[in-house]
Structure 1
């Protein structure tokens, strides 16, 4: 969202801003579908957290998928507790701009969610997405179950094979069990539904991901 130079190294816990104990207030329901942002969610729902650059466009990508129950944007993967947007933008919290994706696995497979994730950004760019430079824009997948972790690794391997076949680079996506997710300020939630002409920097590699189409990683 901001086109200026940012730190491209994640600060250590000792270097990061201290944050605060106060939890960020956030709107109760999703602006588009009215679902509760913080739950409760339907029985059997799964949650995964995905970061692929500016979270405004990333969130819209996932709320539009049939079978996704609710989405929310926030900050994840850093050391600062309950950070503000301005603090995350400083590069001194270590957080990514992440999207919480709650979905019904009976209606949409995780592989299908991940296919959209891989194809709609460039996961080889490290601490940036296009003109958006900084640690907050890094590609990341934060899983909530061991089963998810297995599916994610298969999808990563499959997409790396696809990228290799086109002569493209190595995936730099951070993949790990989900650290604490801090909800972003209310005005960021479903931002592009409230501001249809708002900024969206998502741009994929043009390479299709075979996972989700019945193809396993080699």
Structure 2
């Protein structure tokens, strides 16, 4: 089995690859982790990961400039239903649009917008560091198996996804106000936090993703 991490110039590619390799090894999974900027490699992958750091618009433009990548994502993820994981801005790109330094179209897989965090006075932006995950009642997901209510994960972001459908928000974090932490539907799942930096909890999530059959 092959899991492709998309290289479009925005993401902690080495960290994500190393974490996925470690998760596969610890889980006894025969999975090859491949970082690629070639759209054709998505056709030969069983799973696809889209990382992302930086501004929404920059990441969206970077993804669009990779030859044929947008079409390949639509074919392999939306039409063929391959398991997909978006990380940080990679999760945000799943939304309809982002409004960071302008308005930019997303992939349109999760209805909603990515807006600046509305934290009350005393809360620093960006939201950076460890915070707990609160799972929506009844929203347990195979990729979240084994993660306890309140488990800590590592965040670095100033914008968050406001999903139109509350049922697609699987977990949230309290940062003076609710911040979307995990979204998902069908063969799609996304984390605002960085599983590759979230130690044991992150490795568990990544191993679950590598096993997941939607």
Q: Same fold (TM over 0.5)?
A: no
Normalised TM-score (structure 1):
0.27
- The structure whose residues are more often strand, as a share, is 2
Which is helix-richer, 1 or 2? 2
Tell me the TM-score normalized by structure 2: 0.27
Greater RCO, CA 8 A, separation 6+: 1
